[in-house]
Amino acid sequence: MKKGLFVTLLLTIFISPVIFYSCKPGQAATDNSPEKLSGPQILFISYKYNGEDFQLESKTVTAGKFKSRPQHDETKVNGDLILVQLNKDKLVLDGMHIPNPRIRVVEYADESGMMQKKTVEVENAEFTARINLHSDTKFIMVKEYNDASTELLIMNITELD
């Protein structure tokens, strides 16, 4: 009986520190600050959009790189968004087209049971963009496309910490 107690005590003394030190928190896989990560980075940025204003929901920078640029239909129509990376002097580094997040295609079954599609414009929308983050990016600017004007309406500028 004393031998079993002695073995249990030894195991507790030697194994407990290993468990405690091996379970301590390490560096997270994602981080909100681009300066803390080295190498290629991906930015995931989410906004709420009501057609007039943007509200930043979240931004996450993580290590990595897309094999290729996400493909979108580059045909721009009124209401589409352009996500632009800017450097510290607010010069354009890169841009990305985002189809109007307030336009949704809804599928439904009509009275005869046939599937139909209908395009609707919602009042509020949430969207997330993912982009290869340029190493000099300090700001993300969202612009709204308007084909009646050569100027794009700047909707929001988000500073990356």
pTM over 0.85: no
Strands (E), 19-53: 30-31, 41-49
Q: What is the mean pLDDT of residues 2-20?
A: 59
pLDDT score at 34: 45
Q: What is the pLDDT of residues 36-91, one digit of tens each?
A: 567 889 999 999 988 678 888 999 999 988 876 655 556 777 778 888 999 999 89
d(CA 77, CA 142): 15
Of 33 and 101, the one with more pLDDT: 101
Of 100, 103, 124, 120, nearest in space to 49 by CA = 124
Average pLDDT of the residues in 112-141? 91
> In degrees, to the nearest 5, what angle opens at C-alpha 121 toward C-alphas 119 and 55?
140
Residue 158 has pLDDT above 60, yes or no: yes
Maximum Cα–Cα distance across the chain? 89
Phi first, then psi: what are they for 25, rounded to 5°? -65, 140
- Alpha-carbon distance of 52 to 49, in angstroms, equals 7
| Structural domain spans, the chain | 29-159
Q: What's the pLDDT score for residue 119?
A: 92
